Chains A and B, each alone.
Chain A
C-alpha cells in the first residue's frame, strides 16, 4: 500500500463522511424531516435542533440528511446512466470509425452545443419533474461529454500496436474492445465519473432551486437552499448549511477523483 497524499486523504474523508450521512439519512433521522412544528419556526442552531429549524419548524439536520440520500442517489444513477451509455457509444464509434462515427458525432456535437442544464430543463418538460425524470434528463444531458472523451481516448488507443497485436492473435473486435480498449479507458473514465458526480449534484441542486427538481415537501439540498433564500436576513443557517454541504461534497469528490486515477493506473504505482 502506497502512502496517500494529504489531498487524497481529505477527499476520501470528506466523501466518506458525506456518504455516511446520506446512508444514515436514508434509514434514520433525529426528527421527521417533514414534521411541522409551528411553535419552533426559524429557531437558531441549538442543543435540541443542532442546525436550527426552518420556516415551518422542520429540523434542518434531518432534512439535510434525507436530502443527502436523495441527492446522492439521483447523482449516482445519473452518472451510471451517462457513463455506461457514453462509454458504449464512444468505444464503438471510436473503434469502428466510418459513417456511423460521423453521424453519431454530428448528433453528439449538436447536443454538446447546448448547455447541459438547458438540455436537462427541456428534457424534464418531457419526462416530468420527479426523481427518475431528473435522472433520465440529466443522464441524457451528460452523455455527449462522456462520448467525446471516451472516443478521443479510444482513437489514440486504437493506433497503438497492442490493438493490432490483439487482432493478429485472432481476437474478435468485441473481445478487443472489452479486454484491451475498455480497461485502458478506465483511468480517464474514473476521473470523469467522479467529477461528473459533482456536476450532476450541482445541476440537480440547481434544478431543485429553480423548482424543477424533486417536488416539495421532499427535501433536497437544492430546494432547501431555494426555500431558505427569502429568510436569509433572519435565519442565515437555512441557506448556509445546504450550501456548505454542496461545496464540501464537490471538493471531496474532486479530490477523490484525482486520487482514484493515480491508484487505478498501474503505471502510477511504484
Chain B
C-alpha cells in the first residue's frame, strides 16, 4: 500500500526567529509517503508545530529559514510563489487544528464554509458542490446533512465540529493531511471516534497524514512511523512499534518512562466516620434567561453520594459534561448545593455552620490551569503565604518559615519566593499551586485536573510530587481527571460519573480490571494504554479485554485498525 516515493520530503530544515537568532528547528529531516500516517511527538517548545506549519508556509512572518528544503509532490515549497502556495493549501494539503471551537468561522453556516474550498480549488457546478458536501457530511456521521448545511458551528459539539472540519478538508481529497493535536480538546470516547474516522477517510483517498501530538498512546495506536522531537531537533525516528519497543535515544526513553503506570494498591482503613461524606448532592444551574422567557434550570449533579476516608485518594472520572468539576466545586463550597449535604468528619457543612471556618482551612483545592489559578500580581511567597492568612494561631515568623519549608518540599529553591508567576514554567506554577494548597496542612484536598495542562515529563514529576506529599501529610484527596492513565497511577478508589450521576464506583483494581457498567467499559476501551516491556520500551495494550473482543489483543501489542 505504501509507495516508496515520498510525497513530502523535508531535508535539513533549520528555522530561526527573526532578529534574535534563536534556532527553533535544527537540521530537521523527515519524509512522508503516500497514504502513510506519520506521527510527530514531542513536548511543547520542541518545534513540532513549527515543522508542520512550515510545510504549508504558514509560519509567523518573523521566522526565517536558514537551511534546508521542503519538497512536496516533487516541488520545492520554499521557492514557490504565493499564488502557487495558495493553490496547494487546502487542495493538496489539508490541515485540522487542535481547537474545533475556534477553527470554524462562528458567523458562517457549515454549508458556506465547506463550499469555500470547493469553489476555490475545483471546477464543480453549484449543484455538484452541494451534492458532494451532503455526501461528505453523511460520510462523517452527521445525522441530517442537508439541515446541517444551514446550521452554524455553535450548534455542534466539539467532536461534531472536528468531524465537520475533517469533512471540509477531505472534500478536496488532499494528498497530505496535517493534523495538529486534532483531538486534544476532546473526551476519550469522542477522541477515538474522530481519530478512527480520520484514519478511514484518509485511507479511502490514499491521503497521507502527518499527526502532531504529545499523546504517545494515540500516536502509537494510529501511526505507521513516528518522529520524536526535542528542542528543535529530531532525536529519533522510525517504524512506530519497533521504536517504542526499543527506543535508542535517551530522550525517547525519558519520554516513555514518564508514562504513568499502576502502583501497587495501598491498604486504606475504613474508619467509622469518613473524612468527607457527600449525601444526595444535587446542583442545578440557573437557566440562561431570555429577554421574555424563563428557561428551565439545568441539572448538573443529580443525587451524588460518596465518601472519602482519611488518607484516601478517590478519583472521579468521566467525560466532559459529566459534572465531575461541578462536584469538586460543590464539595469545596464554591457552588451552593440545591439539595443534599456535605459532611466533614461527620458534621454537615454550610457557610452558616460554626465549623465552616475550620472546614475552609482544612479543605483546599488545586486547580487545572496553573496559568489562571495564580494571581499574576503576587509573588510566590505572597501566593503561598496568603493561604495561611486564616491561621491566626501562627506568628508572622512561623508563617514565613512554613512558606520556606513548603517551597522546599515542592522542590523549589528559596530564591523562587520573590518571583512572579509569569517568570515560571507551567510545571513550576503547578508546584506553587500545590504548595499553596498543602501549606495549611489540610485534611482534605480537591485536585481538579491538576496535571492535564502539563507536558508528559513534567506531568510525571508533578504527579510524583503530589503522591509524595499526600503520603507524607496524609491528607484525603478527591482527584478529578479525565486521564485514565493518571488515575490508574494515583487513585485508591475510582468513581465513574456520567451526566451528573455516579454510574460505578469501586477500588481502582476492580474498576480497571473488571468494570461492571457499560459506560465504564466504553471509557476504558476508548484509549489504549502503553505497557512497559521491561527493557525501556513500551507496547500497546488494552486495559481490559471485553468479551466481544473489540479491544484488540494486548498480548501482541497489535495496532487496532478500524474495519473497512
Contact = CB atoms under 8 A, between A and B. Distances in A.
A169 B389 contact: yes
Contact of B365 (A160, A168, A183, A186): A168
A165 B367 contact: yes
A109 interface: no
A170 B390 contact: yes
Interface size class of A (residues with CB under 8 A): 10 to 19
B334 A167 contact: yes
A267 B377 CA distance: 8
A7 B333 CA distance: 49
Interface stretch (B82-90, B228-236, B245-253, B355-363): B355-363
Contact of B376 (A166, A167, A179, A266): A266
B425 to A, nearest CB: 15
B375 A162 contact: yes
B332 interface: yes
A171 interface: yes
Interface string A151-179: 00000000011101111111100000001
B364 A168 contact: yes
B377 A183 contact: yes
Interface string B411-454: 00000000010100000000001001000000000000000000
Contacts of B367: 161, 164-165
Contacts of A168: 332-334, 360, 363-365
A180 interface: yes
Nearest to B420: A266
A161 B447 CA distance: 13
A190 interface: no
A267 B373 contact: no
B394 to A, nearest CB: 14
A179 B333 CA distance: 21
Interface in A200-258: none
B235 to A, nearest CB: 31
Nearest to A269: B420
A169 B360 contact: yes
Contacts of B386: 166, 169, 171, 179
A234 B219 CA distance: 83
B23 interface: no
B494 to A, nearest CB: 24
B181 interface: no
A161 B357 CA distance: 21
Nearest to B376: A267
Given A183-B377, A267-B376, A161 B422 contact: no
B372 A170 contact: no
A29 interface: no
Nearest to A186: B377
A16 B401 CA distance: 45
B49 interface: no
Given A170-B357, A170-B360, A162 B387 contact: no
Nearest to A168: B365
A84 interface: no
Nearest to B365: A168
Nearest to A165: B373
Nearest to B422: A267
Contacts of B329: 164
A161 B389 contact: no
B361 A170 contact: yes
Nearest to A180: B375
A108 interface: no
Interface string B32-65: 0000000000000000000000000000000000
11 contacts: A160-B372, A162-B372, A168-B334, A168-B364, A169-B364, A169-B386, A169-B389, A170-B360, A170-B389, A171-B386, A184-B375
Interface of B: 329, 332-334, 357, 360-361, 363-365, 367-369, 372-377, 386-387, 389-390, 420, 422, 433, 436
Closest 7 CB pairs of A and B: A170-B360, A161-B373, A161-B367, A168-B365, A183-B377, A160-B372, A161-B372
Given A162-B373, A166-B375, A166-B386, 19 more contacts: A160-B373, A161-B368, A161-B369, A161-B372, A162-B374, A162-B375, A164-B329, A164-B334, A164-B373, A165-B365, A165-B433, A165-B436, A168-B334, A169-B364, A169-B387, A170-B357, A184-B376, A184-B377, A266-B376
